[in-house]
Amino acid sequence: MGDPLFVDGIDTAVVLIVLLKVIVVFVFLLVAVMLMVWFERKVISDMQSRIGPNRAGPWGILQTLADGTKLFFKEDLLPELADRRVFRLAPFLSILPAFASFAIVPIGGTISIAGHKTFLQLADPPIGVLFLLAMSSIAVYGVMLAGWSSGSKYPLLGSVRASAQMVSYEAAMALAVAAAVLSAGSLSTHDIVAAQDSLFRWNIFSLGVVPFVVFLIAATAEANRPPFDLVEAEQELVGGFHTEYSSIRFALFFLAEFMNTVTISAMVVTLFLGGPNGPAISFLPSLWPIVWFFLKLLVFLFIYVWLRATLPRFRYDQLMDLGWKKLIPASLFWLLLVAALRIGRLEGWNLGFVLGGGVAVGALGWWALSAALTLGQMDDADLSPAALGEVSLGEVSLGEVSREDVNR
């Protein structure tokens, strides 16, 4: 359908309205990040029987602003061996995708500004979902280039591990999004929300819970949120890909992480919980969609804080095992099942037969995958030092090294 703002062409008023929407969205995200940091610190402190921020401003609400001001005036360090241009560019490659992804989120219905009707949404491209996936892919470059350009091995190790993590979970996230696209029959986020016009047509119910859970887990790993925050595992990698960053450049990475949290929560609400759709109330009808959207958004922001305060960090092998061996097969099977049911409904097939056949094929595929993985683990075990007896390193045989020699 497209934004009605551009129906009569583009003139000065349209350009000014678009600029106004850009400024409003950017300011909202900055304020949302500031409040999110405060919210996370206060909620976790309550869960852990601590006080949390309580000095700067009422209830400590200005503590994040004070921390950002301090970072802004700290010395900006540049490592001697760093690639200067890439080192300076990397933080912006992390924060811009987070802002651009939020641009396609519908916050409310249609409003009128200076006689021009427009969606309460910065942009509604006909390929909005593809734009979302493209932005999530570009975010990997910011992390990888930050580690590579620092001229140090520790940030490089952190960036390589972060890139592998983000790429692994991107596939599962894309398959979960494809299920929502298949249900709505459109790549536009506005059309996806419009297709969820009642509670029982929300994608979390109409598609089953599986795509929703897969998207939530995969997006959490993409954003490096706990318990998947291995990118910043200080006890293992000093400080991760941003070890050499300081001052405002470090603050940009910090800002990007929390901005991604807000954006991901907004996308979950948009794709699976009907976006701004909710109970219709006659009093101020244009206001309630915005209220429903922000209430749903707040629920998921609380869930992310709850996860951070509750779950321990995954090991890296557990992280990759969950992404490649669990989420990708589950999301692929569910996407094929949803597609088969949709085609069967259009063609008049027996849906019970389609569902039974899909479950049987899925069980067979899962068994084959498990068998292949088991054989792979057995092959790895055959190559272990215990199976080979002795493993030579240079001219020294590890089988001949005694415990006393190792202790010395």
Distance (Å) of CA 47 to CA 14, 310, 313: 48, 9, 18
| Within-domain flag for 156 | yes
How far apart are alpha carbons 249 and 74 in whole angstroms?
Answer: 10
Has residue 346 been placed in a domain?
Answer: yes
Give a yes or no: residue 306 inside a domain. yes
> Do the domain assignments include residue 157?
yes
Is 35 a member of any domain?
no
SS3 assignment for 282-326: CCCCCCHHHHHHHHHHHHHHHHHHHHHHHCCCCCHHHHHHHHHHH
**Pure H helices in 104-233:** 128-149, 153-184, 189-194, 203-206, 210-222
Does residue 225 lie within any of the structural domains? Answer: yes
Which of 227, 257, 261, 226 is closest to 242 using CA atoms? 257
Measured between alpha carbons, how far is 9 from 40 in angstroms, rounded to an integer? Answer: 44
- Residues 216, 180 share a domain: yes
Structural domain boundaries, residue 356: 332-376
Per the domain annotation, does 310 fall within a domain?
yes
User: pLDDT grade, residue 139 (50/70/90)?
Assistant: confident
Given this model, what pLDDT does residue 235 score?
54
Q: Would you say residue 388 lies in a domain?
A: no
**Sign (positive/negative) of CA torsion 53, 58, 63, 64?**
positive
Shared-domain flag, residues 174 and 205: yes
Name the pLDDT band for 192 (thresholds 50, 70, 90).
very high
If asked whether residues 309 and 352 sit together in one domain, one would say no
Query: pLDDT (tens digit, 9 = 90+) per residue, 159-185?
Result: 888 888 888 888 899 999 999 998 888
Q: How far apart are CA 302 and CA 297, in angstroms?
A: 9
Query: How many domains does the chain divide into?
Result: 2
Residue 376: pLDDT band (50, 70, 90) is low
CB 207 within 8 A of CB 238: no
Do 247 and 344 share a domain, yes or no?
A: no
pLDDT in the model for residue 361: 65
Side chain identity, residue 194:
A
User: Over the stretch 143-159, which tens digit does the pLDDT of each residue have?
Assistant: 888 888 988 888 888 78
Together in a domain, 337 and 235: no
Q: Do 307 and 357 reside in the same domain of the chain? A: no
Which pTM does this prediction carry? 0.83
- Residue of higher predicted confidence among 328 and 234: 328
pLDDT band at 293 (very low <50, low <70, confident <90, very high): very high
Query: Please, which pLDDT band fits residue 234 given cuts at 50, 70 and 90?
Result: low
Per-residue pLDDT reduced to its tens digit, 87-120? 988 888 888 888 888 999 999 888 888 888 888 8
Tokens representing residue 226 in the block: 């706990």
Q: Do 308 and 180 share a structural domain?
A: yes
Domain match, 229 and 170 both: yes
Q: Does residue 225 share a domain with residue 145?
A: yes
> Do 337 and 264 reside in the same domain of the chain?
no
- Residues 361, 258, single domain; the answer is no
Distance separating alpha carbons of residues 226 and 311, to the nearest angstrom: 8
338 shares a domain with 310: no
